[in-house]
Amino acid sequence: MKKTLWSRLIVCYLLAGVMVFLLLNTYGKDLLEKRLTDQKKDLLIDEARLIETEYKDSIYASIDDSQPQYSLKAQLKSISTYLGITVWIVKKDGTIITASNDVAEQKNVNDLDPKFFDKYFSENNYYPGIFTLPMMSYTHTVSYDFELSGYIILHTPMQGIADEAVNYFDIINICFLLFLPLLFILFLYIYYITAIPLKNLTKAAKEYSSGNYNYALVLKGLSEYRDLGAAISYMSGELSKLDDYQKRFVANISHDFRSPLTSIKGFAEAIKDGTIPHEMQDKYLNIILFETERLTKLTSSLLELNRFENKGTFLDITSYDINNIIKKTAESFEGACRDKKITLNLVFSSKETYVDADMGKIQQVLYNLIDNAIKFSHNNSKIKVSTEEKGDKVFVSVRDYGIGIPRDSIKKIWERFYKTDTSRGKDKRGTGLGLSITKEIIQAHNENINVISTEGVGSEFIFSLTKTIE
Ligand code: ADP
Protein backbone atom coordinates (compact mmCIF):
# COMPACT_ATOMS: atom_id res chain seq x y z
CA MET A 1 0.00 0.00 0.00
CA LYS A 2 1.26 3.48 -0.89
CA LYS A 3 2.47 5.34 2.16
CA THR A 4 -0.07 8.15 2.43
CA LEU A 5 -1.41 9.99 5.42
CA TRP A 6 -4.80 8.41 4.76
CA SER A 7 -3.45 4.84 4.69
CA ARG A 8 -1.41 5.50 7.88
CA LEU A 9 -4.48 6.89 9.63
CA ILE A 10 -6.57 3.85 8.61
CA VAL A 11 -3.85 1.50 9.91
CA CYS A 12 -3.68 3.51 13.16
CA TYR A 13 -7.46 3.42 13.46
CA LEU A 14 -7.60 -0.36 13.00
CA LEU A 15 -4.68 -0.88 15.37
CA ALA A 16 -6.26 1.36 18.00
CA GLY A 17 -9.59 -0.51 17.64
CA VAL A 18 -8.04 -3.98 17.90
CA MET A 19 -5.75 -2.97 20.77
CA VAL A 20 -8.53 -1.42 22.82
CA PHE A 21 -10.71 -4.48 22.19
CA LEU A 22 -7.96 -6.90 23.24
CA LEU A 23 -7.07 -4.83 26.28
CA LEU A 24 -10.67 -4.66 27.43
CA ASN A 25 -11.21 -8.39 26.95
CA THR A 26 -8.02 -9.54 28.67
CA TYR A 27 -6.64 -7.19 31.28
CA GLY A 28 -9.92 -5.27 31.66
CA LYS A 29 -11.89 -8.47 32.12
CA ASP A 30 -9.48 -9.81 34.76
CA LEU A 31 -9.66 -6.51 36.58
CA LEU A 32 -13.44 -6.53 36.54
CA GLU A 33 -13.64 -10.14 37.81
CA LYS A 34 -11.20 -9.35 40.60
CA ARG A 35 -13.22 -6.29 41.57
CA LEU A 36 -16.48 -8.32 41.60
CA THR A 37 -14.83 -11.11 43.64
CA ASP A 38 -13.61 -8.56 46.18
CA GLN A 39 -17.09 -7.08 46.39
CA LYS A 40 -18.51 -10.56 46.98
CA LYS A 41 -15.94 -11.19 49.69
CA ASP A 42 -16.90 -7.92 51.43
CA LEU A 43 -20.55 -8.92 51.21
CA LEU A 44 -19.81 -12.34 52.82
CA ILE A 45 -17.81 -10.72 55.65
CA ASP A 46 -20.57 -8.16 56.34
CA GLU A 47 -23.28 -10.82 56.21
CA ALA A 48 -21.36 -13.16 58.56
CA ARG A 49 -20.94 -10.35 61.11
CA LEU A 50 -24.61 -9.46 60.83
CA ILE A 51 -25.69 -13.08 61.36
CA GLU A 52 -23.39 -13.38 64.39
CA THR A 53 -24.78 -10.25 66.08
CA GLU A 54 -28.43 -10.88 65.14
CA TYR A 55 -28.59 -14.55 66.07
CA LYS A 56 -25.86 -14.81 68.71
CA ASP A 57 -27.94 -16.76 71.27
CA SER A 58 -29.40 -19.21 68.81
CA ILE A 59 -25.92 -19.83 67.36
CA TYR A 60 -24.39 -20.58 70.80
CA ALA A 61 -27.34 -22.76 71.73
CA SER A 62 -27.04 -24.70 68.49
CA ILE A 63 -23.29 -25.22 68.95
CA ASP A 64 -23.66 -26.21 72.62
CA ASP A 65 -26.49 -28.67 71.99
CA SER A 66 -25.03 -29.98 68.76
CA GLN A 67 -28.62 -29.75 67.52
CA PRO A 68 -30.09 -27.80 64.63
CA GLN A 69 -32.03 -24.74 65.81
CA TYR A 70 -35.17 -24.58 63.71
CA SER A 71 -35.98 -20.94 64.23
CA LEU A 72 -32.37 -20.08 63.30
CA LYS A 73 -32.58 -22.42 60.33
CA ALA A 74 -35.70 -20.62 59.10
CA GLN A 75 -33.87 -17.31 59.31
CA LEU A 76 -30.82 -18.68 57.51
CA LYS A 77 -33.01 -20.08 54.74
CA SER A 78 -34.65 -16.72 54.13
CA ILE A 79 -31.17 -15.09 53.96
CA SER A 80 -30.15 -17.84 51.52
CA THR A 81 -33.15 -17.21 49.28
CA TYR A 82 -32.83 -13.46 49.43
CA LEU A 83 -29.04 -13.10 48.92
CA GLY A 84 -28.17 -16.41 47.26
CA ILE A 85 -25.81 -17.26 50.13
CA THR A 86 -25.73 -20.68 51.83
CA VAL A 87 -25.05 -20.43 55.59
CA TRP A 88 -23.66 -23.15 57.88
CA ILE A 89 -23.31 -22.97 61.66
CA VAL A 90 -20.37 -25.28 62.39
CA LYS A 91 -18.93 -26.70 65.61
CA LYS A 92 -15.29 -26.34 66.53
CA ASP A 93 -14.61 -29.93 65.33
CA GLY A 94 -16.07 -29.14 61.91
CA THR A 95 -19.53 -30.71 62.31
CA ILE A 96 -22.22 -28.75 60.49
CA ILE A 97 -25.02 -28.24 63.06
CA THR A 98 -27.46 -25.90 61.37
CA ALA A 99 -27.42 -25.28 57.63
CA SER A 100 -29.62 -23.31 55.25
CA ASN A 101 -29.31 -26.31 52.92
CA ASP A 102 -30.48 -29.39 54.79
CA VAL A 103 -28.22 -31.93 53.04
CA ALA A 104 -25.14 -30.42 54.67
CA GLU A 105 -26.29 -30.93 58.26
CA GLN A 106 -24.32 -33.42 60.40
CA LYS A 107 -21.56 -33.61 57.75
CA ASN A 108 -18.05 -32.68 58.81
CA VAL A 109 -16.28 -29.87 56.92
CA ASN A 110 -12.92 -31.61 57.44
CA ASP A 111 -14.29 -34.62 55.55
CA LEU A 112 -15.31 -32.42 52.66
CA ASP A 113 -11.94 -30.65 52.52
CA PRO A 114 -9.21 -31.37 55.13
CA LYS A 115 -7.58 -28.01 54.32
CA PHE A 116 -10.80 -26.00 54.57
CA PHE A 117 -9.89 -24.19 57.80
CA ASP A 118 -6.38 -23.23 56.55
CA LYS A 119 -7.68 -19.91 55.19
CA TYR A 120 -10.68 -17.65 55.63
CA PHE A 121 -11.55 -17.53 51.96
CA SER A 122 -11.47 -20.40 49.50
CA GLU A 123 -12.61 -20.41 45.91
CA ASN A 124 -13.94 -23.05 43.53
CA ASN A 125 -14.97 -25.42 46.33
CA TYR A 126 -16.95 -28.21 44.78
CA TYR A 127 -18.71 -30.66 47.15
CA PRO A 128 -20.83 -33.11 45.13
CA GLY A 129 -24.07 -34.00 46.85
CA ILE A 130 -24.08 -30.73 48.79
CA PHE A 131 -23.59 -28.13 46.05
CA THR A 132 -24.27 -28.50 42.38
CA LEU A 133 -21.85 -25.69 41.45
CA PRO A 134 -18.32 -24.65 42.54
CA MET A 135 -18.54 -22.16 45.45
CA MET A 136 -16.61 -19.39 47.07
CA SER A 137 -16.58 -19.80 50.86
CA TYR A 138 -15.85 -17.57 53.82
CA THR A 139 -15.18 -18.86 57.35
CA HIS A 140 -16.12 -16.53 60.19
CA THR A 141 -14.96 -17.62 63.68
CA VAL A 142 -17.38 -17.45 66.59
CA SER A 143 -15.75 -17.06 70.04
CA TYR A 144 -17.01 -17.07 73.60
CA ASP A 145 -14.85 -15.66 76.39
CA PHE A 146 -11.99 -15.36 73.92
CA GLU A 147 -12.20 -19.05 73.16
CA LEU A 148 -13.15 -20.51 69.80
CA SER A 149 -16.60 -22.01 69.98
CA GLY A 150 -17.42 -22.59 66.33
CA TYR A 151 -17.79 -21.07 62.86
CA ILE A 152 -20.27 -19.39 60.61
CA ILE A 153 -19.46 -20.48 57.07
CA LEU A 154 -20.97 -18.71 54.08
CA HIS A 155 -20.95 -19.95 50.47
CA THR A 156 -21.86 -18.24 47.27
CA PRO A 157 -21.68 -19.75 43.76
CA MET A 158 -18.65 -18.76 41.66
CA GLN A 159 -20.93 -18.82 38.65
CA GLY A 160 -22.75 -15.76 40.03
CA ILE A 161 -19.55 -13.69 39.88
CA ALA A 162 -18.77 -14.95 36.36
CA ASP A 163 -22.34 -14.19 35.21
CA GLU A 164 -22.18 -10.71 36.67
CA ALA A 165 -18.83 -10.12 34.91
CA VAL A 166 -20.32 -11.25 31.60
CA ASN A 167 -23.26 -8.86 32.09
CA TYR A 168 -20.97 -5.93 32.73
CA PHE A 169 -18.80 -6.97 29.86
CA ASP A 170 -21.64 -7.03 27.43
CA ILE A 171 -22.35 -3.41 28.34
CA ILE A 172 -18.67 -2.46 28.01
CA ASN A 173 -18.40 -4.12 24.59
CA ILE A 174 -21.58 -2.41 23.36
CA CYS A 175 -20.09 0.93 24.48
CA PHE A 176 -16.88 0.03 22.66
CA LEU A 177 -18.79 -0.72 19.46
CA LEU A 178 -20.52 2.65 19.75
CA PHE A 179 -17.15 4.29 20.37
CA LEU A 180 -15.62 2.84 17.15
CA PRO A 181 -17.57 5.10 14.74
CA LEU A 182 -16.80 8.10 16.97
CA LEU A 183 -13.11 7.17 16.81
CA PHE A 184 -13.42 6.94 13.03
CA ILE A 185 -14.97 10.42 12.89
CA LEU A 186 -12.06 11.68 15.03
CA PHE A 187 -9.55 10.16 12.58
CA LEU A 188 -11.48 11.70 9.67
CA TYR A 189 -11.25 15.08 11.39
CA ILE A 190 -7.48 14.66 11.91
CA TYR A 191 -7.16 13.74 8.22
CA TYR A 192 -9.21 16.76 7.20
CA ILE A 193 -7.19 19.27 9.23
CA THR A 194 -3.80 17.86 8.21
CA ALA A 195 -4.11 16.46 4.69
CA ILE A 196 -6.16 19.23 3.07
CA PRO A 197 -3.70 22.04 3.94
CA LEU A 198 -0.83 19.75 2.89
CA LYS A 199 -2.49 19.20 -0.50
CA ASN A 200 -2.91 22.96 -0.93
CA LEU A 201 0.74 23.50 0.05
CA THR A 202 1.91 20.86 -2.43
CA LYS A 203 -0.14 22.47 -5.19
CA ALA A 204 1.29 25.91 -4.35
CA ALA A 205 4.86 24.53 -4.25
CA LYS A 206 4.32 22.98 -7.71
CA GLU A 207 2.94 26.25 -9.07
CA TYR A 208 5.88 28.23 -7.66
CA SER A 209 8.43 25.74 -8.93
CA SER A 210 6.93 26.00 -12.42
CA GLY A 211 7.43 29.78 -12.26
CA ASN A 212 3.88 30.86 -11.44
CA TYR A 213 4.86 33.14 -8.56
CA ASN A 214 1.49 34.93 -8.64
CA TYR A 215 -0.37 31.81 -7.47
CA ALA A 216 -2.34 32.84 -4.38
CA LEU A 217 -1.90 30.37 -1.52
CA VAL A 218 -4.71 30.72 1.00
CA LEU A 219 -4.40 28.43 4.01
CA LYS A 220 -7.11 28.26 6.64
CA GLY A 221 -7.20 26.14 9.76
CA LEU A 222 -4.37 25.37 12.18
CA SER A 223 -2.04 28.26 12.90
CA GLU A 224 1.03 26.05 12.22
CA TYR A 225 -0.18 25.53 8.65
CA ARG A 226 -1.06 29.19 8.26
CA ASP A 227 2.47 30.10 9.39
CA LEU A 228 3.94 27.57 6.96
CA GLY A 229 1.73 28.95 4.18
CA ALA A 230 2.88 32.50 4.95
CA ALA A 231 6.53 31.34 4.94
CA ILE A 232 6.05 29.59 1.57
CA SER A 233 4.31 32.65 0.11
CA TYR A 234 7.15 34.81 1.35
CA MET A 235 9.64 32.37 -0.16
CA SER A 236 7.84 32.55 -3.51
CA GLY A 237 8.05 36.36 -3.37
CA GLU A 238 11.79 36.13 -2.78
CA LEU A 239 12.15 33.53 -5.55
CA SER A 240 10.24 35.81 -7.87
CA LYS A 241 12.61 38.69 -7.04
CA LEU A 242 15.61 36.41 -7.56
CA ASP A 243 14.17 35.25 -10.85
CA ASP A 244 13.70 38.86 -11.99
CA TYR A 245 17.15 39.73 -10.78
CA GLN A 246 18.68 36.82 -12.67
CA LYS A 247 16.86 37.74 -15.87
CA ARG A 248 18.04 41.34 -15.56
CA PHE A 249 21.55 40.15 -14.70
CA VAL A 250 21.82 37.96 -17.79
CA ALA A 251 20.32 40.70 -19.97
CA ASN A 252 22.80 43.24 -18.60
CA ILE A 253 25.78 40.95 -18.97
CA SER A 254 24.82 40.04 -22.55
CA HIS A 255 24.36 43.69 -23.41
CA ASP A 256 27.59 44.81 -21.75
CA PHE A 257 29.60 42.12 -23.49
CA ARG A 258 27.91 42.37 -26.84
CA SER A 259 28.45 46.06 -27.53
CA PRO A 260 32.27 46.09 -27.07
CA LEU A 261 32.54 42.73 -28.87
CA THR A 262 30.53 44.10 -31.81
CA SER A 263 32.78 47.12 -32.19
CA ILE A 264 35.96 45.02 -31.73
CA LYS A 265 34.75 42.57 -34.39
CA GLY A 266 33.61 45.36 -36.73
CA PHE A 267 36.87 47.30 -36.57
CA ALA A 268 39.07 44.18 -36.72
CA GLU A 269 37.22 42.99 -39.88
CA ALA A 270 37.43 46.46 -41.43
CA ILE A 271 41.19 46.60 -40.77
CA LYS A 272 41.64 43.08 -42.17
CA ASP A 273 39.71 43.64 -45.42
CA GLY A 274 41.28 47.08 -45.94
CA THR A 275 38.09 49.15 -45.49
CA ILE A 276 40.03 51.21 -42.96
CA PRO A 277 43.07 52.68 -44.67
CA HIS A 278 46.48 51.98 -43.20
CA GLU A 279 47.03 55.51 -41.82
CA MET A 280 43.70 55.37 -39.89
CA GLN A 281 44.33 51.92 -38.38
CA ASP A 282 46.06 53.29 -35.28
CA LYS A 283 42.95 55.15 -34.17
CA TYR A 284 40.74 52.06 -34.52
CA LEU A 285 43.29 49.75 -32.91
CA ASN A 286 43.16 52.13 -29.91
CA ILE A 287 39.36 51.75 -29.78
CA ILE A 288 39.80 47.97 -29.93
CA LEU A 289 42.28 48.18 -27.03
CA PHE A 290 39.94 50.44 -25.05
CA GLU A 291 37.05 48.01 -25.51
CA THR A 292 39.24 45.03 -24.62
CA GLU A 293 40.25 46.77 -21.39
CA ARG A 294 36.60 47.42 -20.61
CA LEU A 295 35.82 43.73 -21.14
CA THR A 296 38.75 42.73 -18.93
CA LYS A 297 37.53 45.11 -16.21
CA LEU A 298 33.99 43.76 -16.50
CA THR A 299 35.16 40.14 -16.22
CA SER A 300 37.42 40.77 -13.23
CA SER A 301 34.69 42.77 -11.45
CA LEU A 302 32.22 39.94 -11.96
CA LEU A 303 34.72 37.40 -10.69
CA GLU A 304 35.42 39.54 -7.67
CA LEU A 305 31.71 39.88 -6.81
CA ASN A 306 31.30 36.17 -7.20
CA ARG A 307 34.15 35.55 -4.80
CA PHE A 308 32.48 37.81 -2.22
CA GLU A 309 29.21 36.01 -2.60
CA ASN A 310 30.80 32.63 -2.01
CA LYS A 311 32.47 34.08 1.08
CA GLY A 312 35.73 33.17 -0.55
CA THR A 313 37.34 36.53 0.05
CA PHE A 314 39.99 36.46 2.65
CA LEU A 315 40.60 39.82 4.31
CA ASP A 316 44.20 40.58 5.12
CA ILE A 317 43.62 42.82 8.15
CA THR A 318 46.59 44.98 9.16
CA SER A 319 46.99 48.25 11.01
CA TYR A 320 47.91 51.22 8.80
CA ASP A 321 47.47 54.98 8.48
CA ILE A 322 44.29 55.62 6.45
CA ASN A 323 45.44 59.23 5.68
CA ASN A 324 48.43 57.81 3.87
CA ILE A 325 46.25 55.51 1.73
CA ILE A 326 43.85 58.36 0.89
CA LYS A 327 46.82 60.50 -0.21
CA LYS A 328 48.27 57.73 -2.37
CA THR A 329 44.91 56.96 -4.04
CA ALA A 330 44.24 60.64 -4.67
CA GLU A 331 47.65 60.98 -6.34
CA SER A 332 46.70 58.37 -8.94
CA PHE A 333 43.82 60.66 -10.05
CA GLU A 334 46.05 63.69 -10.61
CA GLY A 335 45.86 63.35 -14.42
CA ALA A 336 42.05 62.88 -14.47
CA CYS A 337 41.56 65.89 -12.17
CA ARG A 338 43.86 68.03 -14.32
CA ASP A 339 41.88 67.07 -17.45
CA LYS A 340 38.59 68.24 -15.89
CA LYS A 341 40.19 71.06 -13.88
CA ILE A 342 38.90 69.53 -10.66
CA THR A 343 40.43 70.44 -7.29
CA LEU A 344 40.79 67.47 -4.94
CA ASN A 345 40.88 68.57 -1.28
CA LEU A 346 42.05 66.22 1.45
CA VAL A 347 41.03 67.11 5.02
CA PHE A 348 42.18 64.83 7.88
CA SER A 349 40.91 64.94 11.47
CA SER A 350 44.36 63.95 12.80
CA LYS A 351 47.85 63.86 11.42
CA GLU A 352 47.80 60.07 11.49
CA THR A 353 44.80 57.77 11.94
CA TYR A 354 45.54 54.09 12.24
CA VAL A 355 42.79 51.63 11.26
CA ASP A 356 42.46 47.82 11.24
CA ALA A 357 41.39 46.82 7.73
CA ASP A 358 42.47 45.16 4.51
CA MET A 359 44.69 47.83 2.90
CA GLY A 360 44.31 46.68 -0.73
CA LYS A 361 40.51 46.35 -0.49
CA ILE A 362 40.02 49.75 1.21
CA GLN A 363 42.24 51.33 -1.44
CA GLN A 364 39.89 49.77 -4.02
CA VAL A 365 36.88 51.31 -2.22
CA LEU A 366 38.55 54.75 -2.23
CA TYR A 367 39.48 54.31 -5.88
CA ASN A 368 35.87 53.47 -6.88
CA LEU A 369 34.41 56.38 -4.89
CA ILE A 370 36.92 59.01 -6.12
CA ASP A 371 36.67 57.67 -9.67
CA ASN A 372 32.85 58.08 -9.57
CA ALA A 373 33.15 61.53 -7.96
CA ILE A 374 35.40 62.69 -10.81
CA LYS A 375 33.29 60.99 -13.50
CA PHE A 376 30.09 62.62 -12.30
CA SER A 377 31.55 66.06 -11.48
CA HIS A 378 31.36 69.03 -13.84
CA ASN A 379 34.54 70.67 -15.12
CA ASN A 380 36.10 73.25 -12.79
CA SER A 381 34.43 71.82 -9.71
CA LYS A 382 35.93 70.41 -6.52
CA ILE A 383 35.95 67.15 -4.59
CA LYS A 384 36.60 66.80 -0.88
CA VAL A 385 37.92 63.63 0.78
CA SER A 386 37.88 63.91 4.58
CA THR A 387 38.12 61.83 7.76
CA GLU A 388 36.27 62.24 11.03
CA GLU A 389 36.83 60.23 14.24
CA LYS A 390 34.02 59.23 16.61
CA GLY A 391 34.74 56.80 19.44
CA ASP A 392 36.57 53.80 18.04
CA LYS A 393 35.42 54.59 14.47
CA VAL A 394 36.82 56.66 11.62
CA PHE A 395 34.36 57.97 9.02
CA VAL A 396 35.82 58.53 5.58
CA SER A 397 33.81 60.85 3.29
CA VAL A 398 34.12 61.43 -0.46
CA ARG A 399 32.09 64.50 -1.44
CA ASP A 400 31.51 65.93 -4.89
CA TYR A 401 29.45 68.79 -6.35
CA GLY A 402 28.48 66.99 -9.54
CA ILE A 403 25.26 65.74 -11.15
CA GLY A 404 23.96 64.01 -7.98
CA ILE A 405 21.71 60.97 -7.88
CA PRO A 406 17.94 61.13 -8.48
CA ARG A 407 15.96 60.34 -5.32
CA ASP A 408 14.35 57.12 -6.68
CA SER A 409 17.74 55.77 -7.80
CA ILE A 410 19.52 56.17 -4.46
CA LYS A 411 18.62 52.68 -3.20
CA LYS A 412 19.37 51.03 -6.55
CA ILE A 413 22.91 52.31 -7.09
CA TRP A 414 24.25 49.40 -4.95
CA GLU A 415 22.68 46.84 -7.30
CA ARG A 416 24.82 45.16 -9.92
CA PHE A 417 24.83 46.86 -13.33
CA TYR A 418 22.71 49.75 -12.11
CA LYS A 419 23.44 53.11 -13.67
CA THR A 420 21.22 56.16 -13.36
CA ASP A 421 19.83 57.55 -16.59
CA THR A 422 21.53 60.89 -15.95
CA SER A 423 24.93 59.20 -15.63
CA ARG A 424 24.70 57.01 -18.73
CA GLY A 425 25.59 59.76 -21.18
CA LYS A 426 28.48 60.94 -19.03
CA ASP A 427 30.15 57.61 -18.49
CA LYS A 428 30.76 55.14 -21.30
CA ARG A 429 33.39 53.15 -19.43
CA GLY A 430 31.27 52.37 -16.36
CA THR A 431 30.14 48.81 -15.67
CA GLY A 432 27.63 49.53 -12.90
CA LEU A 433 29.52 47.06 -10.72
CA GLY A 434 31.84 49.41 -8.79
CA LEU A 435 29.46 50.28 -5.96
CA SER A 436 28.30 46.63 -5.57
CA ILE A 437 31.93 45.64 -5.02
CA THR A 438 32.47 48.62 -2.70
CA LYS A 439 29.51 47.63 -0.55
CA GLU A 440 30.60 43.97 -0.40
CA ILE A 441 34.08 45.02 0.76
CA ILE A 442 32.73 47.31 3.50
CA GLN A 443 30.24 44.67 4.66
CA ALA A 444 32.99 42.03 4.74
CA HIS A 445 34.73 44.33 7.25
CA ASN A 446 31.48 44.49 9.27
CA GLU A 447 31.33 48.22 8.58
CA ASN A 448 28.75 50.49 6.92
CA ILE A 449 28.59 52.67 3.83
CA ASN A 450 25.96 55.34 3.11
CA VAL A 451 25.20 57.96 0.52
CA ILE A 452 23.66 61.40 0.79
CA SER A 453 22.89 62.92 -2.57
CA THR A 454 20.73 65.56 -4.23
CA GLU A 455 20.23 65.59 -7.97
CA GLY A 456 22.00 68.57 -9.52
CA VAL A 457 23.78 69.44 -6.26
CA GLY A 458 26.21 66.62 -5.56
CA SER A 459 26.83 63.41 -3.63
CA GLU A 460 28.62 62.33 -0.49
CA PHE A 461 29.62 58.74 0.21
CA ILE A 462 30.62 57.97 3.82
CA PHE A 463 31.99 54.68 5.09
CA SER A 464 33.22 53.62 8.53
CA LEU A 465 36.40 51.83 9.63
CA THR A 466 37.59 50.66 13.04
CA LYS A 467 40.53 52.48 14.62
CA THR A 468 43.49 50.50 15.86
CA ILE A 469 43.45 50.18 19.66
CA GLU A 470 46.77 51.42 20.95
P1 ADP B 1 29.81 52.64 -12.59
O2 ADP B 1 30.92 51.74 -13.04
O3 ADP B 1 28.76 52.81 -13.63
O4 ADP B 1 30.32 53.90 -12.01
P5 ADP B 1 28.99 52.12 -9.93
O6 ADP B 1 28.43 50.89 -9.35
O7 ADP B 1 30.24 52.65 -9.36
O8 ADP B 1 29.13 51.82 -11.47
O9 ADP B 1 27.89 53.24 -9.86
C10 ADP B 1 26.58 52.96 -10.20
C11 ADP B 1 25.83 54.21 -10.60
O12 ADP B 1 25.63 55.04 -9.46
C13 ADP B 1 26.56 55.07 -11.58
O14 ADP B 1 26.38 54.60 -12.89
C15 ADP B 1 25.91 56.41 -11.35
O16 ADP B 1 24.68 56.46 -12.00
C17 ADP B 1 25.63 56.39 -9.85
N18 ADP B 1 26.72 57.08 -9.12
C19 ADP B 1 27.72 56.54 -8.43
N20 ADP B 1 28.52 57.49 -7.86
C21 ADP B 1 27.97 58.69 -8.19
C22 ADP B 1 28.31 60.05 -7.92
N23 ADP B 1 29.36 60.38 -7.18
N24 ADP B 1 27.51 61.02 -8.46
C25 ADP B 1 26.44 60.71 -9.19
N26 ADP B 1 26.06 59.44 -9.49
C27 ADP B 1 26.82 58.45 -9.00
Per-residue pLDDT reduced to its tens digit, 224-233: 888 888 899 8
Q: Assess contact for 219 and 225: CB atoms under 8 A.
A: yes
Its pTM stands at 0.55
Distance separating the N- and C-terminal Cα atoms of the chain: 73
CA 7 to centroid of ligand 1, rounded, Å: 61
pLDDT of residue 455: 93
CA 300 to centroid of ligand 1, rounded, Å: 18
CATH number of 223-309: 1.10.287.130
pLDDT of residue 320: 96
Q: Assess contact for 400 and 377: CB atoms under 8 A.
A: yes
Q: Return the CATH class of domain 5-163.
A: alpha beta
Per-residue pLDDT, averaged over 124-135, amounts to 90
- d(CA 6, CA 192) in angstroms, rounded, equals 10
Distance, CA of 187 to chain centre = 23
pLDDT at residue 16 is higher than 80: yes
Q: Where are the domains of the chain?
A: 5-163, 223-309, 317-467
Q: Which CATH number applies to 317-467: 3.30.565.10, 3.30.365.10, 3.20.20.140, 2.60.200.20? A: 3.30.565.10
pLDDT at residue 297 is higher than 70: yes
Cα 138 to Cα 106, 110, 120, 161: the distances in Å are 19, 15, 5, 15
Ligand 1 atom 2, closest CA: 430
Q: Assess contact for 197 and 222: CB atoms under 8 A.
A: yes
- d(CA 219, CA 118) in angstroms, rounded, equals 74
In short, whether 304's Cβ falls inside 6 Å of ligand 1 is no
SS3 label, residue 54: helix
Per-residue pLDDT, averaged over 300-304, amounts to 84
Q: Tell me which of 62-71, 266-275, 368-377 is least confident.
A: 62-71
pLDDT at residue 311 is higher than 80: no
Q: Assess contact for 368 and 435: CB atoms under 8 A.
A: yes
pLDDT of residue 1: 61
Q: Tell me which of 3-7, 79-83, 369-373 is least confident.
A: 3-7
Q: Name every residue whose Cβ is closer than 8 Å to that of residue 311 and which is 6 or more positions away in sequence.
A: none
Q: Taking Cα atoms as reference points, which of 138, 136, 139, 137 lies closest to residue 162?
A: 136
In short, whether 438's Cβ falls inside 6 Å of ligand 1 is no
SS3 label, residue 75: helix
pLDDT of residue 403: 94
Choose between 360 and 451: higher pLDDT: 451
Q: Tell me which of 106-120, 309-323, 447-461 is least confident.
A: 309-323
Q: Assess contact for 379 and 342: CB atoms under 8 A.
A: yes
pLDDT of residue 401: 97
pLDDT of residue 424: 59
User: pLDDT > 90: what percent of the chain?
Assistant: 53
Per-residue pLDDT, averaged over 12-41, amounts to 92
Residues 165, 170, 175, 177, Cα dihedral to 10°: 130
- d(CA 136, CA 274) in angstroms, rounded, equals 128
Give 259's Cβ-side CA count (13 Å radius).
11
- d(CA 39, CA 85) in angstroms, rounded, equals 14
CA 419 to centroid of ligand 1, rounded, Å: 6
CA 280 to centroid of ligand 1, rounded, Å: 34
Would you report the helix, strand and coil content of the chain in percent, each value rounded to 5?
60, 20, 25
pLDDT of residue 256: 75
Q: Across all residues in the chain, what is the average pLDDT?
A: 90
